[in-house]
């Protein structure tokens, strides 16, 4: 199964140890699904994780965040992210839909209300971290 994780899921995984987002990320690390990302998503995750306000709240050290970013870049299914999609109320969210379609993902996991309001796009189902954990049987 191929899955796109929104930036908010990846960032929350570094802020709330043991939370749903952390559990979703750990499921990927255990091989429960294939993660689909694009360069634009990786860039956004890297930028957001270095915000001073978030750095103070993370349970991961800077070295662990660097390891996570390296793992995301090398162990995920990387798509170009160039498909033009204009579907979300927030144009910044369309990159997640593009990555999902390009990478043949079945799910987009997000906490973003604009994306969740869509429910699906093509063959991509849009679900919360809690709903995705249920789908995984976790």
DSSP 60-93: S-HHHHHHHHHHHHHHSEE---------SSSGGG
Share of the chain above pLDDT 90, in %: 73
Choice between 61 and 89, residue whose per-residue pLDDT is larger: 61
Dihedral angle, C-alpha 51, 55, 57, 58, nearest 10 °: 120
Which CATH homologous superfamily contains domain 2-136?
A: 5'-nuclease (3.40.50.1010)
pTM of the model: 0.92
> Does 64 have pLDDT greater than 80?
yes
Token pair of 2, please?
Answer: 């191929």
């Amino acid at each position: 199964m191929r899955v796109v994780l929104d930036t908010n899921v990846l960032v929350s995984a570094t802020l709330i140890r043991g939370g749903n987002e952390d559990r979703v990320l750990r499921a990927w690390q255990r091989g429960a699904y294939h993660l689909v990302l694009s360069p634009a998503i990786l860039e956004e995750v890297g930028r957001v994780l270095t915000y001073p306000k978030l750095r103070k709240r993370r349970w991961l050290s800077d070295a662990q965040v660097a390891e996570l970013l390296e793992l995301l870049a090398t162990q995920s299914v990387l798509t170009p992210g160039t498909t033009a999609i204009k579907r979300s109320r927030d144009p910044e969210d369309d990159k997640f839909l593009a990555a999902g379609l390009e990478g043949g993902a079945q799910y987009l996991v997000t906490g973003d209300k604009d994306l969740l309001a869509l429910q699906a796009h093509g063959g991509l189902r849009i679900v919360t971290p809690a709903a995705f954990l249920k789908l995984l049987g976790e």
